[in-house]
């Protein structure tokens, strides 16, 4: 039986009706319940592809990043969630791509690169799992393959307070203060320098330091409000 043709990719900057509806509802909920605010939106492009590196605190994180943007972010999500009724439909409808966290395949990398080249912002959580304390954990090196295979911009984003709003193991949304900082793109010159053979550890730490700086700015801003 011949292979089925691949479905065409959606428009990279136009949000579909599902995401627009979710975005509208969450703006109301998050603004009231989480006192959600963000900074640095001027660093995020209105068009063109790129890679978005985000620290991981809770299941809310993709929503917190996508909420203020006027274009979708295509995140990588656990493939085990896609067969779940309704959940899988929501994930597909909000531009999420499946990935096996235990064995990130070349197919997943190709899919992410394809979306970036198509004009999408692709979002990933290099820590691989949520932080229980809110601090940025060590980055897994798997994302380096994406950095080395693209010349598109790479944007660091830091989240603070989400680990309190929805802690690991919890499913309730607690009334906490959440802040998000969108950082300037990583230096292309530094990325090229660290992309040389034998520099993987330095490249991972360079990316982690940029995300950590954003997270610390977000946390300091949050603490100003709390005190």
- Dump pLDDT digits (tens) for 141-187: 888 989 989 999 999 999 999 999 999 888 899 999 999 999 999 99
pLDDT at 101: 62
**DSSP codes joined into one string, 116-177:** HHHT-EEEE-TT-S--SSSS--PPPGGGHHHHHT--S-EEEEEEESHHHHS-TT--S-----
Q: Are strands 97-99 and 73-78 parallel, antiparallel or unpaired?
A: parallel
Domain 37-226 homologous superfamily, CATH: Glycerol-3-phosphate (1)-acyltransferase (3.40.1130.10)
Is 54 strand, coil or helix?
A: strand
Residue 109's nearest CA partner among 98, 95, 121 is: 98
Distance in angstroms (rounded) separating the CA atoms of residues 217 and 223: 10
Distance in angstroms (rounded) separating the CA atoms of residues 219 and 178: 9
* 19 and 94 Cβ atoms separated by less than 8 Å: yes
- Dump pLDDT digits (tens) for 55-95: 999 989 999 999 999 999 999 887 887 888 877 888 888 89
Q: Are strands 179-182 and 154-160 parallel, antiparallel or unpaired?
A: antiparallel
In this prediction, residues 196-217 reach a mean pLDDT of: 94
Apex 198 CA angle, 196 and 204, nearest 5: 80
Domain extents for the chain?
Answer: 37-226
Site of tokens 């990279």: 12
- Dump pLDDT digits (tens) for 23-38: 999 999 999 999 999 9
pLDDT at 105: 67
- Dump pLDDT digits (tens) for 96-123: 888 766 555 677 888 899 999 999 999 9
pLDDT band, very low/low/confident/very high, at 6 (cuts 50, 70, 90): low
Distance in angstroms (rounded) separating the CA atoms of residues 121 and 73: 5
């Amino acid at each position: 039986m011949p292979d089925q043709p691949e479905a065409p990719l959606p428009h990279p900057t136009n949000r579909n009706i599902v995401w627009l509806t979710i975005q509208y509802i969450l703006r109301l909920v998050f603004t009231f319940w989480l006192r959600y605010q963000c900074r640095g939106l001027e660093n995020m492009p209105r068009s063109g592809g790129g890679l978005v590196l985000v620290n991981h605190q809770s299941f809310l994180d993709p929503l917190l990043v996508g909420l203020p943007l006027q274009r979708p972010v295509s995140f990588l999500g656990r493939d085990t969630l896609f067969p779940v009724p309704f959940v899988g439909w929501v994930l597909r409808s909000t531009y999420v791509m499946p990935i096996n966290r235990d064995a990130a395949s070349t197919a997943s990398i190709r899919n992410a690169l394809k979306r970036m080249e198509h004009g999408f912002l692709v979002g990933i959580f290099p820590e691989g799992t949520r932080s229980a304390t809110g601090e940025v954990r060590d980055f897994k090196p798997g994302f380096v393959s994406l950095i080395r295979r693209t010349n598109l911009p790479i944007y660091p984003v830091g989240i603070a307070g989400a680990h309190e709003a929805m802690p690991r193991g919890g499913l309730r949304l607690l009334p906490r203060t959440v802040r998000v900082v969108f950082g300037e793109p990583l230096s292309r010159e530094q990325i090229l320098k660290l992309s040389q053979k034998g520099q993987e550890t330095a490249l991972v730490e360079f990316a982690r330091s940029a995300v950590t700086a954003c997270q610390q700015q977000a946390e300091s801003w949050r603490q100003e409000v709390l005190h």
